[in-house]
Amino acid sequence: MRLAARRSSSSPSGPPSCHTLLIVKLPIVHTPSINRALALGVILTIACVPAQSAQAAPAAFPKKAGKLAIASCPETAISSGGVPRTREYLQAVLKCLDKSWGAYFARTRWTFRKPVVLYFEEPQSTVCGIPWPEHAAAFYCTERRTLVFPLTGRWIEDRTDLYPFKVAAHEYGHHLQSLTGIRRAYEARVRGERARQDELKRRYELQADCLAGVFLGSVWGSLDRTGRDWEALLDATRASGDDGDDYRSHGRGATRVHWLKRGYQALSPAACDTWSAAPSKVS
């Protein structure tokens, strides 16, 4: 989705700054608050880098956790099914996402929590306590760890391609970023580096594209899709780029395709370190 990054009055100038990423390490039970989670034990990853460095935030997905396991996630049809069918489609995809990423987190011994999911037949005036984002297909409410899906609109109605599948996986990627502390680290960098906030937002969004690719690659064999379907998804992803927009928050079409393909081919979140990528790779 496209949402404006929070503006900050902080100056980006000055000495190298330190940023702390908090990753829950050993909790055994689901915790109701971040304070209790931290009390159970955390890893503190501190990155001290110059303000203009390409490294925008610590990469939180551990390289030792390996690949997302190959899994089965058969699609249900959307075309001509109306609202009930679009809801069923998304519920099936989200069930697969919960299962796959839950198993991945279990290997890392991080705390995994399923996101809250809200479905609406039409956009509302407000959701999650904020105005409904303009032009948003689906989106993630960070503070409430909630995925929001409108069940109508061009992004999903009567579609036969994989674009709704990819959108669901992308928004779920934002949930993973919240669970691992990436969102918190990103917000800290935005506050401290005002001049780079658009670039940082793209790094954040492109990582979600890559994580969507990781999931797609892990379930591709069960989707009963062809190479032509994959190319159609790449075309739809390319068309969703922000080429020519005044506010470039998600990346050019070619850049979004690059990160989606990177995750798809690698099957590992370790491939999704957009934070240390060169600026040209997050344009």
**What is the Cα–Cα distance from 276 to 202, expressed in whole angstroms?**
13
pLDDT tens sequence across 180-238: 999 999 999 989 887 888 999 999 999 999 999 999 999 999 999 999 999 999 999 99
- For residues 115-131, give the mean pLDDT: 93
Residues 6+ apart with CB under 8 A from 75: 89, 92, 93, 165, 223, 224
SS (H, E, C) 173-196: HHHHHHHHCHHHHHHHHHHHCHHH
SS3 245: coil
Q: What percent of the chain has pLDDT over 70?
A: 78
C-beta separation of 73 from 191 below 8 A? no
Q: What is the pLDDT of residue 137?
A: 85
Which amino acid does the sequence have at 100? S
What does the pLDDT read at residue 275?
Answer: 93
pLDDT at 45 over 50: no
Pairing of strands 146-150, 130-131: unpaired
Three-state secondary structure call for residue 170: helix
Distance CA 255, CA 2 (A): 16
Quote the mean pLDDT of the chain.
Answer: 80
* DSSP strand pairing (126-127 vs 116-120): unpaired
Task: Give the pTM.
Answer: 0.79
d(CA 163, CA 171): 12
Please report which confidence band the pLDDT of residue 3 belongs to, taking 50, 70 and 90 as the band edges. very low
Hey, what are 85's tokens?
């069918």
| E strands, the chain, in order | 17-24, 42-49, 116-120, 126-127, 130-131, 139-141, 146-150
CA–CA dist 256, 241 (Å, integer): 7
Q: What is the pLDDT of residue 74?
A: 94
